[in-house]
Amino acid sequence: MDFFSKMKDAEYNQFIEDIISKKPLTDDMIREMLSVSDRAGLKRMFDAAVQVKEHYFGKSVYLYSFVYFSTYCKNQCAFCYYNAKNKIDRYRITPEELRVLCGELKDEGVHMIDLTMGEDPHFHNTPENLLEFVRIAKEVTGLPVMVSPGVVDNDFIKELRKEGADFFALYQETYQKELYAKLRAGQSFEGRIDARNNAKAAGICIEDGILTGFSKMKLSNGELIQPSVSDDIESAIVSIRGMQKADPDQVRVMTFEPQPGTPLAETAQASDLMELKVISVLRFVFPDRLIPASLDVAGIPGMTDRLNAGANAVTSIISAGSELEGVVNFDRDVSLNERERDAKSVIKKLKEMGLERGSQESFESYLNRNKS
Ligand code: SAM
Ligand code: MD0
Ligand code: SF4
């Protein structure tokens, strides 16, 4: 509970030094950190994470533009709004629409374009359709491109690499197999890990991620997903260890947000506190890696908390007025011209926080260093 508050100043400074020199944490240490609940202890934990981040990245923050280009999906993830069974309006943009959009994005100040989709058969069954999107995004913006296509086979991954895809995002959500089976019902646990490893082997940077905030969540059949907060902590430990195996270039955690129309719709929303603590622990376990603050979970106010807990990238940036969606859309009920999740608003806030937009050059050299 008092992992940080009980430390003398010298011990606290030594802890930070140890982390910077990549001394590993034990499971017990992580468990204690995730149990911290006193104000002073939390402040010390977040401050330590910021010091570690600044050692490796200074005040630089990287910005990713989010292009959710198809919301069609064949899967039925229990947590996701775009799950195939949900009766919602869906869209798939055309190559021409992507071209126009990328033309608008290229001078906004983002470092990378994240092309994300549901597992839409239009792209899954015809890889060329996705390759064309990567080609357009790279050609029009001249920026690195992340793809978030879901699970694709190794040949497809090699094609993505040839086309110049820089980053492959695929979140395991959890490394607890039983929990995975409830969340990503009917989807292979190993197959998801393999796809990520294949991307790494092909020389593409990879991102992994986990969800938190499932304690007391009920499935529609009444089954409890994780009965208590301590389950959430144990789950995070297993998942952090799972993510370490593939040496990811970027790691994330997001708070589960109940979505209308899904099996987990009727459950109470967890606070963001566990996510913030996991962000700090991720910074301690992956000191020199990119860790995003997603605007999708809690917008710009939430971004501030996440950067102050150790994150150093801002994701899910969407141009002002754009009709595209996020994956959770904390601002789903807000009119398009009122949602403040554009690059300009982000950069303004960074300045107020004493942070800055990192240079494109430093971002690309990080990517090149990490591509095998
Ligand atoms: N369809 C692809 C896939 O699933 O890999 C690409 C989309 S992926 C980027 C969507 C991610 O958003 C999920 O992996 C999950 O981590 C996150 N997500 C989806 N629904 C969520 C929710 N209700 N609350 C929090 N995170 C969510
Ligand atoms: C985000 N909504 O960054 C996006 C998404 C996909 N690579 C990223 C989860 O929050
Ligand atoms: Fe489809 Fe991805 Fe949502 Fe799962 S998380 S339902 S695969 S869009």
> pLDDT tens digit string along 309-341?
999 999 999 998 899 988 887 788 888 777 889
Ligand nearest to the CA of 196: 1
For residue 215, the model assigns a pLDDT of 74
For residue 372, the model assigns a pLDDT of 64
* Gap between the Cα atoms of 279 and 48, Å rounded: 12
**Cβ atoms of 79 and 259 closer than 8 Å:** yes
For residue 350, the model assigns a pLDDT of 98
**DSSP 8-state class, residue 23:** P
Tell me the CA–centroid distance for residue 176 and ligand 1, in Å: 17
Tokens of 71: 């919301």
How do residues 45-75 score in pLDDT, each as one tens digit?
999 999 999 999 999 999 999 999 999 999 9
Tokens of 94: 């055309």
Tell me the CA–centroid distance for residue 246 and ligand 1, in Å: 20
DSSP per-residue string spanning 279-326: HHHHHHHSTTSB-EEEHHHHHHHHHHHHHTTT--EEEEE--TT-----
Tell me if residue 174 falls in helix, strand or coil.
coil
Tell me if residue 83 falls in helix, strand or coil.
coil
DSSP per-residue string spanning 28-57: HHHHHHHH--SHHHHHHHHHHHHHHHHHHH
The domain ranges of the chain are 61-371
Mean pLDDT, the chain, as a whole number?
Answer: 95
Q: How far apart are the first and last CA of the chain?
A: 40
For residue 120, the model assigns a pLDDT of 98
Give domain 61-371's CATH superfamily: Aldolase class I (3.20.20.70)
For residue 291, the model assigns a pLDDT of 99
Please indicate whether residue 83, judged by its CB atom, sits closer than 6 Å to ligand 3.
yes
**Cβ atoms of 311 and 292 closer than 8 Å:** yes
Ligand 2 atom showing the smallest separation from residue 294 Cα: 10
Please indicate whether residue 73, judged by its CB atom, sits closer than 6 Å to ligand 3.
yes
> Would you give the distance in Å from CA 180 to the centre of its chain?
17
Please indicate whether residue 253, judged by its CB atom, sits closer than 6 Å to ligand 1.
no
Ligand 1 atom showing the smallest separation from residue 148 Cα: 6
**Cβ atoms of 109 and 141 closer than 8 Å:** no
Tell me the CA–centroid distance for residue 115 and ligand 2, in Å: 9
How do residues 167-198 score in pLDDT, each as one tens digit?
999 999 999 999 999 999 999 999 999 999 99
How do residues 274-302 score in pLDDT, each as one tens digit?
999 999 999 999 999 999 999 999 999 99
For residue 334, the model assigns a pLDDT of 82
Mean pLDDT within 338-363: 95
How do residues 228-272 score in pLDDT, each as one tens digit?
778 899 999 999 999 999 999 999 999 999 999 998 888 777 889
Q: Collect contacts of 8-15 with beta carbons under 8 A, ≥24 apart.
A: 12/44, 12/48, 15/48
- Which band of pLDDT confidence, cut at 50, 70 and 90, is reported for residue 346? very high
Ligand nearest to the CA of 183: 3
For residue 225, the model assigns a pLDDT of 74
Phi-psi region of 216 (alpha: psi -120 to 50; beta: other; left: phi over 0): left
**Cβ atoms of 113 and 141 closer than 8 Å:** yes
* Gap between the Cα atoms of 320 and 202, Å rounded: 35
**Cβ atoms of 166 and 146 closer than 8 Å:** yes
pTM of the model: 0.97
Tokens of 160: 């993505």
Ligand 1 pocket: which of 72, 208, 219, 254 to mutate (most atoms <8 Å of CB)? 254
For residue 249, the model assigns a pLDDT of 98
For residue 216, the model assigns a pLDDT of 67
Tell me the CA–centroid distance for residue 276 and ligand 3, in Å: 24
pLDDT at 347 over 80: yes
